[in-house]
């Protein structure tokens, strides 16, 4: 008998298949292989082929937009939003619009075309996280923006148009709906219980352990109780923290280890899947609060379709999270990475 499960935060019900639960090998898909063919604007020496950089780490001497960097942030050459201008909010009868003002940046995570966030050294991943943080903090100075959204498309099937490892940042004058839902629900829970719902969930999950994929001093990765997708994972700080960008440096180092470990486990169990991740954090101006708990959501791209799911908000997950967690927990990955 399949199970209907409710996500305690969003209130979304999902169907979890149990009878013919899919194992990792049951998903037919293409692994992400880095071909290295053709011209790559993110490779060392091609710095002038991107818009001028807004941030670079690692360069000792040498001018901007020259080699020598380890992490580099540039405006997206084909931005979804325009950086100039006012919002110019307007109504038209029932409808509301504003200018598509925002920042759209690319974080080039490494000069090496072959590396990924699962294979880079922990120290290099930590630098990527610092770049996220530095850019978020800088963009928050722009009073037009209400939210800074960090996300990553890894692999063609997950929407990456370039294979060289990179993340993206979109700064928006509005808070995305799914984040707003989490914020509202966690605020409501806090008003009732004076506890953070994420902290409660982490406590319950680490005590039971069945959906825990990995854990280190400061972070835990779990397969959520009511996932929308097979092998969906959430990576959360164990101590309450409402904003990604407001943390001590040891947090980013610990997060780098946990992120590498989690992505390496996905690579091992699912043979280098395409995936998306998104960083959910508090909006600009609401950074310090007791109810919201920042986290990464990681979604491997294993199933082909979801038009139906988009239209209904109703998901059928073919692998119980207890099983995905077990597969990932038992995977053999380099022991140094997570601890």
Catalytic residue numbers, as ranges: 166
> How far is 320 from 212, CA to CA, in rounded Å?
13
In the three-class reduction of DSSP (H, G, I as helix; E, B as strand; rest coil), residue 143 is classed as coil
- Picking from 174, 173, 195, 214, the residue whose alpha carbon sits closest to that of residue 298 is 214
Q: Which of 122, 197, 259, 264 binds a second copy (CB under 8 A)?
A: 197
Q: Give Cα separations from 85 to 98, 103, 105, 282, 332 (angstroms).
A: 11, 12, 17, 25, 51
Binding to a second copy (CB under 8 A): which residues in 269-288?
A: 275-278
Cβ nearer to a second copy, comparing 42 with 234: 234
Query: Minimal distance in Å, beta carbon 31 to a second copy?
Result: 16
Q: Which of 2, 41, 51, 121 binds a second copy (CB under 8 A)?
A: 2
Residue with tokens 């931005």: 79
Query: Minimal distance in Å, beta carbon 80 to a second copy?
Result: 5
Q: Is 228 in the site for a second copy (CB under 8 A)?
A: yes
Q: Which of 28, 37, 95, 194 binds a second copy (CB under 8 A)?
A: 95
How wide is the angle at C-alpha 216 spanned by C-alphas 211 and 219, nearest 5°?
70
Q: Is 191 in the site for a second copy (CB under 8 A)?
A: no
Cβ nearer to a second copy, comparing 60 with 86: 86
Query: Minimal distance in Å, beta carbon 144 to a second copy?
Result: 11
Q: How many residues bind a second copy (CB under 8 A)?
A: 74
Binding to a second copy (CB under 8 A): which residues in 18-47?
A: 18, 20
Residue with tokens 């590396």: 115
Long-range contacts of 120-125 (CB under 8 A, 24+ apart): 120/165, 120/260, 122/253, 122/256, 122/257, 122/260, 122/336, 122/337, 123/256, 124/70, 124/71, 125/256, 125/259, 125/260
Q: Is 226 in the site for a second copy (CB under 8 A)?
A: yes
Binding to a second copy (CB under 8 A): which residues in 130-149?
A: 149
Q: Which stretch binds a second copy (CB under 8 A): 128-136, 215-223, 250-258, 307-315?
A: 307-315
């Amino acid at each position: 008998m399949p199970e209907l499960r409710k996500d305690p935060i969003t209130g979304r019900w999902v169907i979890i298949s149990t009878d013919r639960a899919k194992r990792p090998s049951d998903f037919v898909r293409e692994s992400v292989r880095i071909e290295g063919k053709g011209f790559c604007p993110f490779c060392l020496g091609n710095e002038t082929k991107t818009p001028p950089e807004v941030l670079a780490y690692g360069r000792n001497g040498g001018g901007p937009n020259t080699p020598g960097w380890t992490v580099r942030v540039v405006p997206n050459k084909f931005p979804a939003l325009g950086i100039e201008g006012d919002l110019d909010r307007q109504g038209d009868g029932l409808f509301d619009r504003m200018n598509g003002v925002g920042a759209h940046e690319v974080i080039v995570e490494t000069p090496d075309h072959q590396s990924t966030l699962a294979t880079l050294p922990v120290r290099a991943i930590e630098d990527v996280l610092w770049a996220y943080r530095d850019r978020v903090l800088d963009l928050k100075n722009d009073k037009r923006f209400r939210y800074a959204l960090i996300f990553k498309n890894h692999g063609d099937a997950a929407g990456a148009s370039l294979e060289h490892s990179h993340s993206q940042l979109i700064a928006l004058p509005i808070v995305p709906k799914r984040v707003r839902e989490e914020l509202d629900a966690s605020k409501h829970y806090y008003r009732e219980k004076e506890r953070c719902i994420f902290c409660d969930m982490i406590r319950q999950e680490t005590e039971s352990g069945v959906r825990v994929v990995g854990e280190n001093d400061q972070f835990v990765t779990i397969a959520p109780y009511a996932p929308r997708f097979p092998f969906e994972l959430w990576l959360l700080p164990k101590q309450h923290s409402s904003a990604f960008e407001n943390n001590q440096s040891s947090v980013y180092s610990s997060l780098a280890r946990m992120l590498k470990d989690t992505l390496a486990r996905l690579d091992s169990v699912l043979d280098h899947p395409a995936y998306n991740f998104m960083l959910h954090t508090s909006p600009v101006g609401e950074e310090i609060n007791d109810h919201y708990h920042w986290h990464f959501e990681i979604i491997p791209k294993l199933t082909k379709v979801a038009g139906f799911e988009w239209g209904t908000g109703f998901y059928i997950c073919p692998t119980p999270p207890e099983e995905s967690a077990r597969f990932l927990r038992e995977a053999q990955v380099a022991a140094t990475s997570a601890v």
